[in-house]
Amino acid sequence: MNIVVCVKQTPDTAATVTVSDGEVSWGDAPLVLNPWDEYAVEQALLSKEAHGGKVTAISLGSEGAKDALKQALAMGCEEAILINDPAFENADSLVVSKALAAAITKLGEIDLAFFGRQAVDSDTGVTFAQVARRLGWPALSLVAKVEALDPGAGTIAVERMLGSARQRLQTKLPAVVSVVKEINEPRYPSFMGIRKASKAEIPVWSKADIDLAEVPEAALRWPEIFAPPKIETECEFIEGETAEEVANKLADRLVEEKVI
């Protein structure tokens, strides 16, 4: 099988996000492989291990995004490609999806493209669906289990996570799959994998390399980013001689405040 996994480099989720004068800052937080994308890489690798073939990781980003691609290589992907061109500065998801779809088309004969459910920095959660739309492939979102994958018959059956329920879906390949964290446990890169990845030369594809003559302007701008308003809270201690008295007073206060 020829499998693609799209990965984004994002700040570590442990970072403290601050907003000042419209600028978002993650401080000195390290940039990492988007945590959701680790599950996508793992599922791509499991699919390859079960059915043969290769996995190519693709990222659109700065030169620094090569580190995220190296993590994907260290986990076991065979190839990695960085898409980088000044035309993609300030790209919104419409532009990013156009570039990713063009790169997938350029790779040719792809059976499956895996994505994380969302990127932890801008959180739009739409890129995979836009890529699927551009490729004309079915989009399987929020996938928590790949139940059956049959490259011979060209079909995939999955379970989607719908709140507390699950939904079974089946479709034809090629398809786009976005995964949730319930789907697997991402592996740690092996020592050999890390060594191999550290020496890997990652090709950089420009807009010309993915046959994009024109890159549209981003349709979206995000000129203003601000911290949510602070919620003022008052803390009230309810006291009483017995637990029953405290409980009764608490219930009265909750009724008074129209909480219950």
Ligand X SMILES: Cc1cc2nc3c(=O)[nH]c(=O)nc-3n(C[C@H](O)[C@H](O)[C@H](O)COP(=O)(O)OP(=O)(O)OC[C@H]3O[C@@H](n4cnc5c(N)ncnc54)[C@H](O)[C@@H]3O)c2cc1C
The binding site for ligand X (CB under 6 A) comprises 6-8, 24, 34, 36-37, 40, 58-61, 91-93, 96, 100, 115-116, 118-119, 122-128, 220, 222, 225
Shortest Cβ 38–ligand X spacing (Å):
10
- Whichever of 19 and 251 has its CB closer to ligand X, that residue is 19
Characterize 6-44 residue by residue with b for buried, 16 or more Cβ atoms within 10 angstroms of its Cβ, and e for exposed: bbbbbbeeebeeeeeeeeeebeeeebbbbbbbbbbbbbb
- Whichever of 25 and 248 has its CB closer to ligand X, that residue is 25
Shortest Cβ 219–ligand X spacing (Å):
8
Instruction: Please check whether residue 245 is in contact with residue 239, taking contact to mean a CB–CB distance below 8 angstroms.
Output: no
- Whichever of 42 and 92 has its CB closer to ligand X, that residue is 92
Of all residues in the shown chain, the one whose CB is closest to ligand X is 116
Identity (one letter) of the amino acid at 79?
E
- Whichever of 105 and 248 has its CB closer to ligand X, that residue is 105
Half-sphere exposure of 44 (CA within 13 A, CB side): 35
209 Cβ contact partners less than 8 Å away, ≥ 6 residues apart: 106
Pairing of strands 112-116, 175-179: parallel
CA distance 171 to 157: 7
Place of tokens 């909480």: 259
Tokens matching residue 198: 């550290």
- Whichever of 2 and 141 has its CB closer to ligand X, that residue is 141
CA distance 41 to 157: 19
Shortest Cβ 187–ligand X spacing (Å):
18
- Whichever of 219 and 260 has its CB closer to ligand X, that residue is 219
Shortest Cβ 160–ligand X spacing (Å):
16
Shortest Cβ 192–ligand X spacing (Å):
26
Phi, psi angle pair for 48, to nearest 5°: -65, -45
Shortest Cβ 65–ligand X spacing (Å):
7
Kindly give the residue spans of alpha helices, DSSP state H, lying in 179-242: 191-199
